[in-house]
Amino acid sequence: MLKLPKDFLMGGASAAYQVEGATKEDGKGKVLWDDYLEKQGRFSPDPAADFYHRYDEDLTLAQEYGVQAIRVSIAWSRIFPDGTGKVEPRGVSYYHKLFASCKKHNIIPFVTLHHFDTPLKLHDKGDWLSQEMLDAFVDYAKFCFKEFPEVKYWITINEPTSMAIQQTVSGTFPPGVTGRFDLAFQAEHNQMVAHARIVNAYKKMNLGGQIGIVHALQTVYPYTDSAADKHAAALQDAFEIRLYLDGTLAGEYNPETLKLVKEIVDANNQPMFKSTPEEMDELSRAAHQLDFVGVNNYFSKWIKAYDGDSEMVHNGTGAKGTSVSRLHGIGEERKPDGIETTDWDWSIYPKGMHDMLVRIKKEYPLVPAIYVTENGIGLKESLPKDADDNTIIDDPKRIDYLKKYFKAIAEAINDGVNVKGYFMWSLQDQFSWTNGYSKRYGMFFVDFPTQKRYVKKSAYWFKKLSETHEIPE
């Protein structure tokens, strides 16, 4: 039987906008999503899981089911409603209360400073493409470090890549621009510079905590062994993964990576992103001081050479088999036969997790530690009609998924990778950015209309693993 190390941390994950609800309460400023979602009219970020009012209830449950750490994020616009300037004391006080509740329940908070929720005023100025945004983000981070000494684990940014790509390539995040690879690369470079400035400032402050970044790292494989497919996979990897691992974990861009990025922008008649020697120096200093990297890995991708126009269709409803992704200058996603997928077309491929963890150890030796900061499966789940207080939601698919992925992590640890912990996405059911409320990931079921919580069988499974550290067959 495979075992996890004794000090392996078992956690649950969340993000402010996806759980808190209360988007108009206590002086919170608007973020890029509020008007965008209202206009779209598909779903609302309120009430989400009403974590703003129910954090203590959720942390009580978490403690009972073996959760030792939690990923939460601070909603920047609860503290600075406009992104800069005036501080909202009610927002500050909410997070002090949340961290005190974590302490009471013996749960370590890993706190993200930016999880897809740019304050609207800064979003309107260009979001990650604006220097004003970058400076404001660094100031907000420093404010948090001083204000919340009770936090010992900080994460600068959640998934810089997916934010940028969804904002300006696939258009699934506001402002909904498509096909602008150049803007995505520039926004990502800018996020890495802001991240690096924050890491370097944090280390200077000597607060005795740890700081890291979280990346979306879906492993990329060529569809076949042909040279063309292998090259397409290398382009896709540079686009979604390699540039950001280089920038944040090595502190410099490998010339081979830059060549691939240049090939993508050239093919789309767009300019290369800009960087300065001062920025590169900042990246290098940060990479040498970074305490950990967070790996978000849910699925893997297979890429085939493709020569046509870009076409992307997002499966945001769980209608299996509806996703399309063909990018001009990169390649086309195609799953080999026999790869199992979820209703949202995400492949279930634990080997991808293992390969990614091993790759980081091999190719980015500066990184001292890795946490799996997100992994889990989105399912369509409902409350039985005759549910009562003791109803337990049966989720065998999730247990099966977790078992396979935990095995892959344990194997990577056996291969010498320093994986220190795991955060299941998600702690409780929550709101999903582009899928709303029907894609449930939680170990606790949330009946959104009543906000009542029900335990899922996977929570029992998780508790046992947390107590024994033995992965059952």
Residue 439 within binding range of ligand BGP, rule CB under 6 A: yes
Size of the site for ligand BGP (CB under 6 A): 15
Cα–Cα distance measured from residue 13 to residue 410, given in angstroms and rounded to the nearest whole number: 20
Q: Is the peptide bond before 426 cis (omega within 30 degrees of 0)?
A: yes
- Interface residue with ligand BGP among 162, 218, 257, 325 (CB under 6 A) is 162
Question: Count of alpha carbons within 13 Å of 177, Cβ hemisphere only?
Answer: 14
Q: Which is nearer to ligand BGP, 200 or 296 (CB)?
A: 296
| Least distance to ligand BGP, CB of residue 437, Å | 11
**10-69 binders of ligand BGP (CB under 6 A):** 15, 18
Q: Which is nearer to ligand BGP, 77 or 296 (CB)?
A: 296
Which residues in 409-428 contact ligand BGP (CB under 6 A)?
425
Task: Report if residue 159 touches ligand BGP, rule: CB under 6 A.
Answer: yes
- CA count, 13 A, side-chain hemisphere, 170: 20
Q: Which parts of 206-225 interact with ligand BGP (CB under 6 A)?
A: 216
Q: What is the C-alpha separation between 262 and 270, in angstroms, rounded? A: 9
Does residue 378 belong to the site contacting ligand BGP (CB under 6 A)? yes
What is the nearest approach in angstroms of ligand BGP to the Cβ of residue 158? 5
Per CB under 6 A, 429 contacts ligand BGP: no
Name which of 466, 424, 401 is nearest 65 in CA terms: 466
Stretch that binds ligand BGP, among 158-166, 175-183, 232-240, 319-327 (CB under 6 A): 158-166
- 56: phi then psi, degrees, rounded to nearest 5: -70, -35
Q: Could you tell me the CA-to-CA distances from 201 to 198, 221, 263 in Å, in that order?
A: 5, 37, 35
435 binds ligand BGP, rule: CB under 6 A: yes
- Confirm whether 374 is a catalytic residue: yes
Candidates 130, 224, 275, 434; binder of ligand BGP (CB under 6 A) is: 434
Candidate list 166, 218, 296, 347; residue touching ligand BGP; CB under 6 A: 296
Stretch that binds ligand BGP, among 120-128, 274-282, 362-370, 434-442 (CB under 6 A): 434-442
Question: What distance in Å separates the CA atoms of residue 448 and residue 437, rounded to the nearest whole number?
Answer: 8
Judged by CB under 6 A, which stretch of 143-151, 241-249, 432-440, 459-467 contacts ligand BGP?
Answer: 432-440
Contact predicate 268/181, CB 8 Å: yes
Q: Which stretch binds ligand BGP (CB under 6 A): 31-39, 131-139, 431-439, 457-465?
A: 431-439
How far is it, in rounded angstroms, from Cα 15 to Cα 43? 17
Residue located via tokens 């996405």: 425
Strand locations in 181-261 (E): 210-216, 220-222
SS (HEC) of 47-69 = CCCCHHHHHHHHHHHHHHCCCCE
Write out the catalytic residue numbers. 374
Site for ligand BGP, rule CB under 6 A: 15, 18, 158-159, 162, 216, 296, 374, 378, 425, 432-435, 439
